[in-house]
Structure 1
Amino acid sequence: MTSQGDGRGWLPGVGAISYGGDYNPEQWPEETWPADIELMRQAGVNLVSIGVFSWALIEPRPGEYGFGWLDRLFELLHDAGIRISLGTPTASPPAWFFHQHPEARVVTRDGTVLGFGSRGMASPSSAAYREASTSIARELAKRYGTHPALAVWHVHNEYGAPVSDCYSSASIRAFRAWLRDRYGSLDALNQAWGTTFWGQRYGEWEHVSAPAVSASVVNPAQRLDFARFTSDALLQCFIAERDAIRAECSGVPITTNFMAGTCPSVDLWKWADEVDIVANDHYLVAADPRSHVGLALSADLTRSIARGRPWILMEHSTSGVNWQPRNLAKRSGELARNALAHLGRGADAVMFFQWKASRSGAEKFHSAMLPHAGTSSRVWSEVCSLGQGLGRLDEVLGSEVRAEVAVLWDWESFWAQDLEWRPSEDLSHRERVDAFYDRLWRDGLTVDFAHPESDLSAYKLVVAPASYLLTEVAASNLRSYVEGGGTLVVSYFSAIVDEYDAVHAGGYVAPLRDVLGLTVEEFLPLRSGETVRLSLDGISGDVWADDVALDGAEVIAAFEDGPGAGKPAITRNSLGAGSAFYVSTRLGVDELSVVLRRAYQDAGIEPGFGPADVEIIRRHGDSEYLIAINHSNRPVDLPVGGTDLLSGESGESLKLEAGGARVIRI
């Protein structure tokens, strides 16, 4: 893999913004392929993903390979100057595999054995599946590993979707082996899981099983470890295929398509260390009228997982999808706004699912670059326009995005918090992350996401919206961050348990007690619909309150009513050269501004410029680039000068039309 120093050649042979999508020509007569590829050239496509769901065609019978059609496709694309992202088709094993290995089917937590006819339905712990998937990956690498059109390997498809955890006998055996490696002894396992509760103590390894559905709530520490095991088991499947490819093909980067922010079953902090380039799939939530904010969150999270390096947007949609309750079509210009928002937040490749709309199958109503309506359609026109625009942005390739704010994101904490029997069913880690992120987005601040144990020294402000599980290492890290001059904002129900889902010795928030200057003596969850007034700017909260006892912190706001009346609601504590805020109730996005504007002052952060619903991101390279996206229905003036690379227009001040976007070299 080449250096990513200046971004050029970050994919071998690719020195431009990559543009294209999944191409599944096996769904169409071969005589139509040349016409497809000519349309790709018209649209500006220079990279396509192929082979992602082609196992049954490549290996129609065990050990019998048919590469002829794929050979011809490679040559057609290569002759057209279109590079290839070659998929390993292992997300959809063929019918013969399940006929030979019925034991490889996924078993759900309630004991249901999943059948054939979908995708992603093989157990990651199945030895037969591992062998078959690595075998076909190896054969593909032998055949195409040195082909000049090959730009990147695309292993599998969306690990963890539509299923992730499996409770088969193979998974149970693998889980026991994973636990032996983690704990070393049954005594250590019993201690970690707190098995003296409810008489669950284990005396033999063979008695330990997966946490299947039981009479009541299953041991939460066991559930948490099974979530960790599931992520690791899926990762081992990727590593096995990756290593099989590398043994036959060196120099070509290998990736898989993550679903940052939407697939909760894989710990992508770990996965990022195993891929050469991070890739992500993102689809708008049609029910959310501010879905462009969720898009920004996913893109920022992906860039953070990539440690700031360029990444691939492997899939998004040209218009509506087919699998949500109500699949809204994108409005005119939304296709380009979505693509450029991803590019603004670090993507150097913009890809869609898929190139050509399918006539058959479960996704025949999913939008595509070439829709059912053909080349006379609005979508096709916008696809071509976007391709032309991206073709003018080569100089942006490899530039970086910088952030002054980090939001803590920890999959293990989320897994633990989402288990049963928490103090209120209204607790939601994702709701709090989304609310804080939305506030930062509205304030024009670019955000990185960070693991609580990672180096935070580069950030002026760190926000912990939902750190229910906080290790001692993470707490020490946050303490050092604040002492060194950082500003920390912590929301309620954080620092409650350790890595074993056991309440911290010393009680709630114990590991952050000196950082926050307080302790939480008791949770005071609210009834459905109940609100509490705060003694600051007329704001109110809902869902939650804490019984806070001060230990050095100052009160910013107190509860005026409710179960915590008279108690602190928002506090600030000084520690070393920094400060830490605590918010002990659920504040809405508007109300959060009351807290965060004080945190901005402590951190020395100036909120970004720009009218409401105008998204502004900067990328830094040899030049500085400002990506401005107008999500509103009115034109605005941008108070910056430069050259819009999309239109060629220059000036000391540029107008941004309603629904428009610009990429300005400043």
Structure 2
Amino acid sequence: MPNLGDATRGRILYGGDYNPEQWPEETWLEDVRLMKDAGVNSVTLGVFSWAKLEPRPGERDFGWLDRLMDLMHENGIGVVLATPTASPPPWMGHLHPDTLPVDQDGRTEWWGGRQHFSHSSATYRRYAAAITEDLAARYGSHPALTLWHINNEYCTYDWSDEAAARFRRWLRDRYGTLDTLNTAWGTAFWSQGYGDWAEIHTPRHAHYLKNPTQVLDFKRFTSDMLLECYTAERDIVRRATPHLPVTTNFMPLWVGQDAWRWAEEEDVVSVDLYPDPRDPLGAQQGALVQDMTRSQARGPWMLMEQAAGPVNWRGVNHPKPQGLNRLWSLQAVARGADAVCYFQWRQSRQGAEKFHSGMVSHAGEQGRTYQEVKQLGAELARISEEVTDSHSGSDIAVLHDWHAWWAGAQDGRPSTRVDHPDLLSAWHRALWEAHLTTDFAHPEHDLGAYRLVVVPQLYALTDAAVDNLLAYVRGGGTVVCGFLTGVADEDDRVRPGGMDPRLRDLFGIRTLHEWWPLDEGEHVECDGFRGTLWSEEIEKTEDAETEAAYKGGELDGLPAVLRKGRAWYVSTLPEPEAMRELLARIAAGTGVRPVLDGLPDRVEAVRRGDLLFLLHHGRESVTVEVPGTHRDLLTGATVTDEITLGRYGAAVLKP
């Protein structure tokens, strides 16, 4: 299959969503001039253009898009052509109410926004296929076309009757018989046994707690139905243009998509990334998403959307300080991106996102935003040739699984304060602050290439995943695991003893007596650190070592951090500094070290191939020791032994 390299042709793609239908045609020529000045070489067209392309059922208006495609080609700007199926025209919902999604309270979600489609609607799928077929036929051979972008941010749930019918078919395929389903769902509890497939509905609003496994399967079903919508359109454009790559854009760590499975269906993995510029951990959140996306792509990936300035959907929408857009863009490149793009090119004057920034803001060409965009374009062009031939990698893998997340997020759990993304971020933060780069992996992936595997939390694990972890440690690997891991199987059935017995044996846990969740503001004292969020009453085996014990209270003297051979178990959440020191110590024991020693605070060092990216996330100048002689590809300057980075400074060093 084609990949991102077929679209980039040895350059970093730079540009963003372009919505010219919002502007008079005389503005298009001005846009092209500004794009060329800024080094833009790629635009995404048509994402929300369905009503413009099909103003009435079956009619087509391609003239305006013909002119745009030709205009882009004439000016050397490639086109990522989107199917417009994320936002159906009003006539569709008006004529075909079955295309509209229904929420869990039975209320219809109407048109007037976006993503107002039922993933299970046969009518919606038929119209989506028709417009995709016509786009592929008309533009498949156009010389401007470099990449297909299917839909946009797949994120809809649907509890409608049509979705229920599809859900029943999905369940039949998964379980075969009602007896098997009743066993998997544990329907002996609360008299929930099903005697007819017609009795099963989507898990709508209930008087009290819903069946957890039914909810888990509904999340699996939703991801699968959205994936069916994607692959149907993907297959259409592939038939017309088998030489061109196809993508759709993930939202970062969104709960509704099993992105591991989705990534296998994409030629290019792409993501939208919007860290809060006021968040002191915004750069770490960006690094987490970038590491995960690179791992899903297993190579170069595409930053499909970011903001050049403020967004419009937070309570208070702060702009990016001068230099931060450049820094975070280069961070994405350091961590494997071969495309740096934005939503959107020109800031809208009307509509729901008129206060969401664009590469050309309301301030226009002289505005700081565009001037910074122009500077970045020149710098990306300067490093493109070196960067696109290089790759990122790591000796550490962090395990993550959407199904474990879905199962662990049920109601009626020991603590609603335990949040899977927060735990994932806390463990990744510790590694990031220790200057240790990481990959992400699914718990059933081959882990043999990694020296250290980190498991922040995987509440539910399949037998295959457990066996995979055991085989990894038997093969000489080191694993460090957080609490509430391996509690349940894939049906959300609690394992014997409250944790898979094979994992208890791996970590040296004889008995897990009780979980002791902690309230907000509560902590436990441990040897050398304080634990937060969670604690556990554990009895260890004789061959396990207590690396840190609880001090005082009900758990006094019991293990907080336990080790058996190369398997570590952490039964609380150490405060950030302690977590960083613990993981750095374990990593060092496996031979994994930071990219550079002695890095100043707020400086990130990342290797991509033989290139060293230095990224300064602070406002005060710092000096970084870089032994040897290098050339800074951003400036062309020669660097010997040390370099000074100013506010939000960056360097790309080549030996």
Normalising to structure 2: TM-score of the pair? 0.97
Structure 1 gaps, min length 5: none
Structure-2 residue corresponding to 1:184: 176
Asked if structure 2 preserves the Cα contact closer than 8 Å seen for 1:532 and 1:560, the reply is: yes
Structure-2 residue corresponding to 1:201: 193
Query: How big is the shift at 1:633?
Result: 2.1
Superposed, 1:264-663 pairs within 5 Å as 264-286=255-277, 288-307=279-298, 309-393=299-383, 394-518=385-509, 519-534=511-526, 536-537=527-528, 539-551=529-541, 552-574=543-565, 579-609=566-596, 610-620=599-609, 624-640=610-626, 641-653=629-641, 654-663=643-652
CA 1:598–1:553: 2 relative to 1, 3 Å? farther
Query: How big is the shift at 1:487?
Result: 1.1
Bigger drift between 229-238 and 430-439 goes to 430-439
Asked if structure 1 preserves the Cα contact closer than 8 Å seen for 2:423 and 2:457, the reply is: yes
Structure-1 residue corresponding to 2:90: 95
Query: How big is the shift at 1:507?
Result: 3.0
Asked if structure 2 preserves the Cα contact closer than 8 Å seen for 1:260 and 1:280, the reply is: yes
Q: Residues 534-582 of structure 1: CA distance to partner in whole angstroms, max 9, x if unpaired?
A: 1x22x111221111011231101111123312211111111xxxx1111
In the aligned structure 1, how far is the partner of 2:278 from the partner of 2:157?
A: 28
In the aligned structure 2, how far is the partner of 1:169 from the partner of 1:271?
A: 26
Query: How big is the shift at 1:103?
Result: 1.6
In the aligned structure 1, how far is the partner of 2:375 from the partner of 2:255?
A: 35
In the aligned structure 1, how far is the partner of 2:588 from the partner of 2:372?
A: 43
In the aligned structure 1, how far is the partner of 2:258 from the partner of 2:117?
A: 20
Structure 2 gaps, min length 5: none
Bigger drift between 67-76 and 497-506 goes to 497-506
Asked if structure 1 preserves the Cα contact closer than 8 Å seen for 2:600 and 2:624, the reply is: no
In the aligned structure 2, how far is the partner of 1:265 from the partner of 1:464?
A: 21
Amino acid at match of 2:381: G
In the aligned structure 2, how far is the partner of 1:236 from the partner of 1:266?
A: 12
In the aligned structure 2, how far is the partner of 1:421 from the partner of 1:607?
A: 41
Match of 1:48 among 43, 47, 65: 43
In the aligned structure 1, how far is the partner of 2:595 from the partner of 2:434?
A: 6
Query: How big is the shift at 1:591?
Result: 1.5
Structure-1 residue corresponding to 2:225: 233
Structure-2 residue corresponding to 1:172: 164
Amino acid at match of 1:267: D
Query: How big is the shift at 1:286?
Result: 4.5
Matched-pair identity in % = 46
In the aligned structure 1, how far is the partner of 2:513 from the partner of 2:106?
A: 41
Structure-2 residue corresponding to 1:21: 16
Amino acid at match of 1:101: H
Structure-2 residue corresponding to 1:156: 151
Superposed, 1:97-116 pairs within 5 Å as 97-116=92-111
Asked if structure 1 preserves the Cα contact closer than 8 Å seen for 2:48 and 2:86, the reply is: yes
Query: How big is the shift at 1:325?
Result: 1.3
In the aligned structure 2, how far is the partner of 1:112 from the partner of 1:515?
A: 49
SS of 1:158's equivalent in the other structure is coil
Q: Residues 102-138 of structure 1: CA distance to partner in whole angstroms, max 9, x if unpaired?
A: 1211111122211110000101000001001111011
Asked if structure 1 preserves the Cα contact closer than 8 Å seen for 2:615 and 2:648, the reply is: yes
Query: How big is the shift at 1:528?
Result: 3.5
Amino acid at match of 1:144: Y
Q: Residues 121-172 of structure 1: CA distance to partner in whole angstroms, max 9, x if unpaired?
A: 1010000010011110110000000111100001100111xxx221001100
Q: Residues 234-283 of structure 1: CA distance to partner in whole angstroms, max 9, x if unpaired?
A: 0000011111222222211111111132x210001000111111111110
RMSD (Å) for aligned C-alpha atoms: 1.3
Bigger drift between 353-362 and 605-614 goes to 605-614
Normalising to structure 1: TM-score of the pair? 0.95
Match of 2:28 among 21, 24, 33: 33
Query: How big is the shift at 1:608?
Result: 3.8
In the aligned structure 2, how far is the partner of 1:594 from the partner of 1:626?
A: 24
In the aligned structure 2, how far is the partner of 1:617 from the partner of 1:481?
A: 26
Amino acid at match of 2:320: K
Amino acid at match of 1:388: A
Bigger drift between 631-640 and 237-246 goes to 631-640
Query: How big is the shift at 1:287?
Result: 5.3
SS of 1:663's equivalent in the other structure is strand
In the aligned structure 1, how far is the partner of 2:133 from the partner of 2:275?
A: 35
Q: Residues 74-121 of structure 1: CA distance to partner in whole angstroms, max 9, x if unpaired?
A: 111100000000011000000111111112111111222111100001
Match of 1:242 among 234, 252, 260: 234
